Amino acid sequence: MDIKSYAQDIALKARSVAVQLANLSSQRKNDWLLAASNRLLNASNSIMDANQLDLANAKKFSLSASQIDRLTISPKRLAAMANSMVEIATLKDPIGRVLEGGFRPNGLQVLKVGVPLGVLFFIYESRPNVSTDAAALSFKSGNAIILRGGKEALNTNKILVEILQAELLNSGLPVDAIQLVQIPDREVVGELLLKSDLIDLVIPRGGKDLIKRVSLEATMPVMKHFDGNCHVYVEASADLEMATKILVNSKCQRPGVCNAAESLLIDKKISHLALPVLYRALVAHGVEVRGCALSCSVVPELKKASEQDFLEEFLDLIISVKIVENIDDAIRHINQFGSKHTDVIVTSSLAASQQFTREIDSAAVIVNASSRFNDGGQIGLGAEIGISTDKYHARGPCGLNELTSYKYVIMGNGNIRQD
CA nearest to 119, candidates 17, 8, 243: 17
The predicted structure's pLDDT at residue 64: 84
Across residues 96-113, what is the average pLDDT?
95
pLDDT, tens digit, 9 for 90 and up, residues 294-339: 999 999 999 999 999 999 999 899 999 999 999 999 999 999 999 9
pLDDT tier, 256 (very low <50, low <70, confident <90, very high otherwise): confident
Task: Give the Cα separation of 34 and 356 in Å (integer).
Answer: 42
pLDDT, tens digit, 9 for 90 and up, residues 139-154: 999 999 999 999 999 9
**Structural domains of the chain, ranges and CATH numbers in brackets:** 3-223+398-411 (3.40.605.10), 230-373 (3.40.309.10)
Eight-class DSSP state of 36: H
**Cβ–Cβ under 8 Å, residues 123 and 146:** no
- Burial label for 183, CB within 10 Å (0-12, 13-18, 19+), is middle
Q: 225: cis peptide before it, omega within 30°?
A: no
Q: What residue type is 381 in one-letter code?
A: L
DSSP-derived 3-state class of residue 367: strand
The predicted structure's pLDDT at residue 391: 73
Measured from the Cβ of residue 358, the count of other Cβ atoms closer than 10 Å reads: 9
CA nearest to 89, candidates 170, 34, 22: 34
Task: Give the Cα separation of 257 and 227 in Å (integer).
Answer: 10
Residue 65 has pLDDT above 70, yes or no: yes
The predicted structure's pLDDT at residue 127: 87
Beta-carbon contacts of 290 under 8 Å, excluding residues fewer than 6 positions away, are 302, 303, 304, 305, 306, 309, 318, 319, 320, 321
Percentage of the chain exceeding pLDDT 70: 99
Strands 109-116 and 303-304: unpaired
pLDDT, tens digit, 9 for 90 and up, residues 382-401: 778 878 877 777 888 888 99
Give how far Cα 32 sits from Cα of 164, 283, 381, 396, Å. Answer: 9, 47, 20, 27
pTM equals 0.83
